[in-house]
Each structure stands twice: as C-alpha cells, then as structure tokens.
Structure 1
C-alpha cells in the first residue's frame, strides 16, 4: 500500500497541493497518495491524530492551523521555532512527529531559480504578520546588505526586528517612512492588492535593476505587481513558485528526493491562464 500524505486547512477546496505532489510523483516514480482534507476549526488535533493513527506519513498545514501544528509536533526544527508556526509535519520511524516550516525556503529558492540576487542587496518586506515571520530567517540567510520591515503598525515590525536581529541587519519602519528610500528587492507579504485594488506606495522606491515579489498569487497580476510594473520594474513574480517550492521542500523531507519545480510551475500557470480565459 502506498504511503499517505495530505494537506489540512479550512477552506481547502482551492488547494493546488494535491496536483503539485501528483506532478512530483510522476517525475520521481515515488509511490504515494496525497489528498486535501477540510478540518473544522478546533478539531485539528483530533483530525491529525486520526490521520497518523491510520498510517499517514506526513501533513502539510495551511490556514488557519499553522499554530495548531506548531503545538502538535513533538519536536520542531530550529527554523520552525523561529517562525513560530509549522506548515509541515513528518512522522518519524519511532512514531514521533517533527514540525518544520518550508514556506521561507520555498520563496527564497524561487527567487534564486529566477536568477535574482539577494546577497549584498537592500531588501524591503511589506507586512509583519505570520507570513512575513516565516520567511525572515531564509531571507537573512542570503546575507543581504540590510532588510527593512515596513508595517502599518510599527510596533509589530519592531518586534520582528527584536526577534531576528541576531541574523542580520534589520530595520523597522511605517509605510509613511519609506518615502525617499530605495530598495533592490521588494517583497509584498500583505494581502493588499490581492483582489485587484490599487496599492499606494511612495514613488521612486525601486533602485535600478530592482525586483518585486508578491507572496500571494492569482491568475491576474496582483495590485502590488501592477504598481511595480507602473514604476518600471522589469523583474516581477507572484508567489506561485513559492507554493511549489515549499511543496518541493515537503516532498524532500518526506521522500528524500528533490523534485524539479520549474516544469510544475509552468504547468500550473498554464492551467490558471486557461481557467481565466474560460471564465471570461
């Protein structure tokens, strides 16, 4: 019988994870099943216990259960401890559960796959929520010149600076304080602009040859990426590659084989474009 894996979330119908892992299995010849499971809020532990008791080998976790998964794990990797959340559970041979986070590594690998340079660059990340916390360690691991966290509530950005200051040069500011500054790479970690609304950021934020990355993804360019294009940015990406990249990290943690991500990103993008055309 093939090994069983799944993704837990609420909502979950929109999840592309089963399709991604199906592509990985076709590439590698691994014998495994991967499903998606809607879990009622407050029922995470019960659902996870039942999944692992039934022979499940690993789980991906999406909103709103990443904190539940953090608490559920018997042990956590250092990067998961830093992130304060878990999106990957691994059942070890002794039956214990290890919690990890693969979001940040997935995003950084996506940027590197596109040829973006992060080392020695001035980075700006917009937002200070859980999604941003989860990517700070891998970003700082690339040794940028500095990384600025901008958030509407300055105290939240300052807390992240406090929590991660030992990993590199970090600064906190409000959105209003961005005027007059320039950055080589800007990452949007907020939901602003996801549904097409206009994003208001100061002009001239982009240094020459800059790159802009939205951690969200959609069939249409996000409001943030539209802003970046209007500002003359040539290197643009949404977070679809981050989604595939974190899935690849999960697959590697479970199966000890690293799948190719570029063909999967290309295929998912093609299907998203087709769906958009049919809808219109």
Structure 2
C-alpha cells in the first residue's frame, strides 16, 4: 500500500494487476488536462481487500477503479450507487466526495459499447454470445440489450448463466446456453468475458464455434494476443479484437465522473501505440 498514501491519489485495485494499463491512460489524462495528481495500480489481497481500499480513501484517495476479482464486492463500501451499477450488479469506478461519502458507478458497459461502435463492430439486432457470467459480463449486458442485441450467455457453472438471463430478461432478449450445447448459431459476435485470459488459459469452447465471418472480442488485453484470440485465429477467425479499446473508453467515462471533463480518447490510443 506504499503508493496509496499519496495525497489526491487515484488507483486501480485488482489481483492480478501487473498487466493493467490504467495508470498510463489516466496519468495521460491528468497531464493533458492540467491536473497535478497521480494514478497507481494496487494488487489488493483477496482476503483483506475491503480494509485496503478503505485505507486508501482514508489516506487521501479521491477515486478508484475496481477490476477482477473485486467488482461485485465493493457494494458494501459505497454510500450511493448509480442506476447503471445497480442494474449491472457490478462496480468498476468509485468517486469520493466530502466526509468520506463514496459513490459507486459502472463504466464498463458504456465503455464497451463505445468501443464496438467506434470500430464499427456492432449493429442493432446482432446475435451476441457471451462467455462468462461474472462481473465483467454483468457490466456489459444492459447496454447491449438496450442497443437491441439478442444475448446468449454461457458459463462453466451454468446456474450463473441462468441467473443472469433471468435477472436481465426484463431489458430485452437474453438466453442461457450450457457450454456443451454450444454450436454455430448465427452469432455475429462472440465475447470472452471470463477471467481465463488473465491466467493464460482458453475458455472451454468448441473449435466448430469459430468462423471467419464472426467477430471475436476478448475483454482482456495484453502486450500479446490472448489464448482466446490465438485459439480463434488458429481455427480460422479473421475478425479478432482485444479489450484495449474498451479499457480506454471506460477510463474516459471514469475520468468524466471524477473531473467533469470527457477526454479525447483518440489521443490516448495514439499515445499507447507509441
């Protein structure tokens, strides 16, 4: 927690967190718009996460991003929660107000949809298969359903996929499918929302699910292609993307919550490429 004691500090909490590019993005935003503040990454312990993030805010922290595996655990900390975070059941952004008042928000969904629209990867009525039913999946379901996509969700523990399909059914067309029943079903996009890429393994999907016409999107990102991306390419996929665009866009929405300035995302894309 050494870096967390800096005054007016912002941070991303996760475990693991070494891969995160959030500090580069947010420190670029701070410098660009004249804020003399600092953003760091903190590998929080899974057993003591609540105490660590509370300590961060007590020592001068102003805002935080939350990533795996803590997005569903921070509800206990927040005094108020935005509508989109309540719907998602997942929080990825916290803003501290005066007197230790914490607001919880979720910018994952709007950031994800912004990236898909920017890259022209999505249209209304698309059939979208989501692999995973954790916090990452929760964050993107409502925006996709509002955009009038048809959602199919699968998960290793099928009951979790069933739970999410029931929870979000009131927002649009969403269905749960067991992994062993996956097959080509005219999907337009397949999204890896599992944590498998963080741990360098591939989600359990059949190779016959891969097609050169379908878009494959891994919400994770890294210096190299993920196992999921390589698996898709090896089996004939031509349209394969990682989650760096989502990260940049959700970061922009987090920055807007903190500073009331919506940053130029194209500039940070160019910065990261360099």
Q: 1:188 to 1:82 in 2, by over 3 A?
A: same
Does the 8 Å contact 1:183/1:206 carry over to 2? no
Determine if contact 1:192/1:199 at 8 Å carries over to the other structure.
no
1: distance between equivalents of 2:221 and 2:154? Answer: 21
1:183 match = 187
Query: In 1, Cα distance between the equivalents of 2:10 and 2:233?
Result: 39
Please state how far the C-alpha of 1:3 moved relative to its aligned partner. 3.7
Aligned pair in 2 of structure 1 residues 197, 85: CA closer, same or farther (>3 Å)? Answer: closer
Distance 1:52 1:223 in 2: 36
**2:123 paired with 1:118:** yes
What is aligned with 1:24?
Answer: 29
Cα distance, 1:186 vs. partner?
Answer: 1.0
Tell me, yes or no, if structure 1 residue 268 matches structure 2 residue 259.
no
Give the structure 2 partner of residue 218 of structure 1: 222
Shift of 1:148: 0.6
> Unpaired runs of 5+ in structure 2?
1-5
Tell me, yes or no, if the aligned pair for 2:191 and 2:217 is still in contact at 8 Å. yes
Question: Which of 127, 140, 148 is the aligned partner of 1:143?
Answer: 148
Aligned partners of 1:47, 1:223: CA distance in 2, in Å?
A: 32
Alpha-carbon offset, residue 121 of structure 1: 0.9
Q: What is the correspondence of 1:76-91 to structure 2 with a 5 Å cutoff? A: 76-91=81-96
Greater Cα shift, 153-162 or 56-65: 56-65
Paired with 1:9 and 1:181, the residues of 2 have a C-alpha distance of 35
1:27-85 alpha-carbon deviations (Å, 9 max, x no partner): 32333222233434443343333333333221112233323321100011122122222
TM-score, reference length from structure 1? 0.84
Structure 1 residue runs of 4+, over 6 Å off?
none
> Structure 1, unaligned stretches of length 5 or more?
271-280
2:161 aligns with one of 157, 163, 174: 157
Match of 2:3 in 1: none
Structure 2 length normalisation: TM-score? 0.85
Give the conservation status (yes or no) of the 8 Å contact 2:12–2:41. Answer: yes
Change (3 A) 1:90 1:125: same
Secondary structure of the 1:186 match is: strand
1:101-112 alignment, distance < 5 Å: 101-112=106-117
Contact 1:182/1:207 (CA < 8 Å) preserved in 2? no
Q: CA deviation at 1:231?
A: 4.8
Distance 2:212 2:237 in 1: 9
8 Å contact from structure 2 (residues 202, 231) kept in 1 = no
SS of corresponding position for 1:66: coil
Residue of structure 1 in register with 2:232 after alignment: 228
Match of 1:73 in 2: 78
**Does 2:57 correspond to 1:61?**
no
Residues 38, 125 of structure 1: CA spacing in aligned structure 2 closer, same or farther, 3 A cutoff? closer
Match of 2:249 among 237, 241, 245: 245
